[in-house]
Structures are given as structure tokens and as C-alpha cells.
Amino acid sequence: MRPGGAFLTLQPPNRFSNPIKNYADALGFGYGFVLGHQSGQDAFRVDLDDMLATLDLLRRHAGS
């Protein structure tokens, strides 16, 4: 990944895990996540507006 890059993870609501955050911090990358909403027994949905807002935050962070 190029300097200033970022990770965005889409997390299921029933199995939240955050190991990539430590990895991103160690490498100096941005990191964001969007927590999904349960949609059936084995599925989840992510709100598009939440995802776009998080991407916008990551872009602003990369520009600072």
C-alpha cells in the first residue's frame, strides 16, 4: 500500500474483531470500520451512508 493509505473493514455485528487496527497503526496507515446490521442468520448488511461517511473521514485523515 502506498504511504497515506488506509484500511476499511466491514464488520459483522455478531463477530466484531479488530486485529487490523494494530497492524495499520504499526505501519502508519489509516484505519476505519463500519459495523453492519444483522440480516438473516448468517448475513449482515452495511449501511451505504455509514460506509461513505467513514471513507470520507479516511480521505480527510490521509490529507492531513
Smallest Cα–Cα separation from 13: which of 61, 56, 45?
45
Q: Which three cell numbers stand for residue 29?
A: 496507515
- Express each pLDDT in 33-61 by its tens digit: 999 999 988 899 999 999 999 999 999 88
Coil, helix or strand at residue 30? strand
Smallest Cα–Cα separation from 7: which of 23, 30, 28?
30
**What is the pLDDT, as a whole number, of residue 55?**
95
Kind plus residue range of the DSSP H or E element containing 61: helix 48-63
- Express each pLDDT in 4-37 by its tens digit: 889 899 999 888 788 889 989 998 899 999 999 9
Task: Please answer whether residues 34 and 11 qualify as being in contact, where contact means their C-beta atoms are separated by less than 8 angstroms.
Answer: yes
Q: Which three cell numbers stand for residue 24?
A: 495499520
